[in-house]
Amino acid sequence: MKIPTDIIAVGIDPAKRVHQGVALVYPEVELLNSQFENNYEAISSFDEKIMKLAQKNRLKVIYGLEDSGAYGKTIKDVLTSRFREIREVNPLKTNRQKDFYGGDKSDEIDARCIAQILLRSYESLPKIEEDNEIYASIREAERFRETLVKMKTQNVNRLHFYLTKTWGGAYKNFFSSLQNKIALEFFRTYPVPQVLKETKAKELARFLYEASSHHLGRGNPREIAQKKAKLILSSIKGIKDLPLTLEREMKREIIKELVANISQVKASIKAIGRKLNKGLLPETHQSLTSLKSIDTVTASVLLGETLNPSRFSTRDKFARYNGSAPQERSSGGKAKHRARKGCNRRLKRTLRQISVTAIVREPLTRAYYQRCLSRGLSKSQALKRVDRKISDIVWKMMKTKKPYDRKLAIRNIIKRSQDTNNLGRARWQSRTLRIKKSSDEIESLVLPPLDILAELREIEKKVRVLVRGS
């Protein structure tokens, strides 16, 4: 591939406060190397310097960024508003380029590596455009949701810890889950057993009935509330009479704060889910949730971490990015395949989650998984192959923006099976024609257009006769 000589490649290494920019022209002649602050005025001033150099030398300006979502977000916004062409450079390529500098690490070297990659192959790098804005918003939402889920899990674990200290192991029998509405409301009102010292069963049953919005499972909700109230009071007979010491007072406040925090985080998670489901995902015009194993959350991860499906021209490139394609290690004519480490871990984890769900809920995926097991593969090996199939399906759905069509998938499977059988038939025929007999005998072995299995049986009989006669 010919290296373009009519461009000025500007590599920018974004940072929290000060960015580093390096401008190169063919064949790696440095025109500018400077630092600029992370604000609108400084970035605009740097861009004006680059444009003056470009006009002076009659060159086309191409910017390159490793990261346009965090520290590079301001750079992307400013340059996009000024209608500059920006390309995204994979950090893996930058790391390989650093080897030419003896493994040294600095902002200047990083920016120079980005510029060199731009100089050689900018046309093959994905563009950073405003079209990515909706996908970037989805990524921000799903990542923040994941943070909230982790925070909720941590607080629930802490709540279990303090409830065990105050209630013993009896509290686990009160409610099916500590995260449901009635359980949180109960422990917010009665954080320690001593608060129930003067409470009667009838009063507690009325509280449970109202806190559950009159839904306590199957049966009469009032009777269920009375049974649960008696269970709670009978479980803490010895504990509730203990004195409310200063330590228990502190634990009561901690439990109330934890319950309030869990309730607030749960509400935030639901709000983000509604925003994704009704606001952001419809803007992409994608139909990933038409596949049974993909819900709103997993679809958000797939779209957000991909940023834009147009970045991947083939399903193989998408598979390498999400880690479902193995990494080849070949030397001396021997090839080995290993798990790909340099990939998007969020996508890889989400694809595995989708695969496990699809094996249970999607008949075609389950059949493919069972077929892999019947070939002698282990469960982990079969799951890896399911991951790759799911990756191909997701890539196709994102590129075409069409929903998953199970009937079309079945037709494609049948067509591939027929093509495979026809290929095997042609190979068998070519092997048969190698028998050294007269032309008449050879012509009699040519496969007629009949049923494949019956055809093979007839040919096998003829071959046996010919071999015995020779």
* Residues 6+ away with beta carbon under 8 Å from 467: none
Number of Cβ within 10 Å of residue 462's Cβ equals 14
Q: Tokens for 464?
A: 């046996």
Q: Tokens for 76?
A: 């992307």
- 3-class secondary structure, 344: coil
Going through 240-377 in order, the beta strands assigned E by DSSP cover 327-331, 334-338
Rounded CA separation 175/292 (Å): 31
Rounded CA separation 335/406 (Å): 36
Count of all residues that appear for the chain in the document: 470
Question: Which residue numbers in the chain have pLDDT < 50?
Answer: 435-453, 456, 463, 466-467, 470
Residue 210 CA: distances (Å) to CA of 107, 204, 205, 215: 61, 10, 9, 9
Rounded CA separation 62/215 (Å): 62
DSSP code of 279? I
pLDDT on residue 97 = 79
- 3-class secondary structure, 235: helix
Helix locations, 122-132, DSSP H: none
What domains, with CATH codes, occur in the chain? 7-128 (3.30.420.10), 146-273 (no CATH), 290-328+339-404 (no CATH), 410-469 (no CATH)
Are 344 and 305 in contact, with CB atoms under 8 Å apart? yes
Rounded CA separation 192/243 (Å): 11
- Please write the tens of the pLDDT for every residue from 293-304: 999 999 999 999
Are 265 and 148 in contact, with CB atoms under 8 Å apart? yes
User: Which of 68-91 are b and which e, b meaning 16 or more Cβ less than 10 Å from the residue's Cβ?
Assistant: bbebbebbbebbbeeebbbbbbee
Amino acid at 341: K
Rounded CA separation 443/432 (Å): 10
Q: Which residue do the tokens 């996508």 mark?
A: 347
Kindly report the pTM of this predicted structure: 0.76
Residue 19 CA: distances (Å) to CA of 48, 71, 111: 16, 9, 9
Rounded CA separation 374/367 (Å): 10
Number of Cβ within 10 Å of residue 337's Cβ equals 11
Rounded CA separation 13/94 (Å): 11
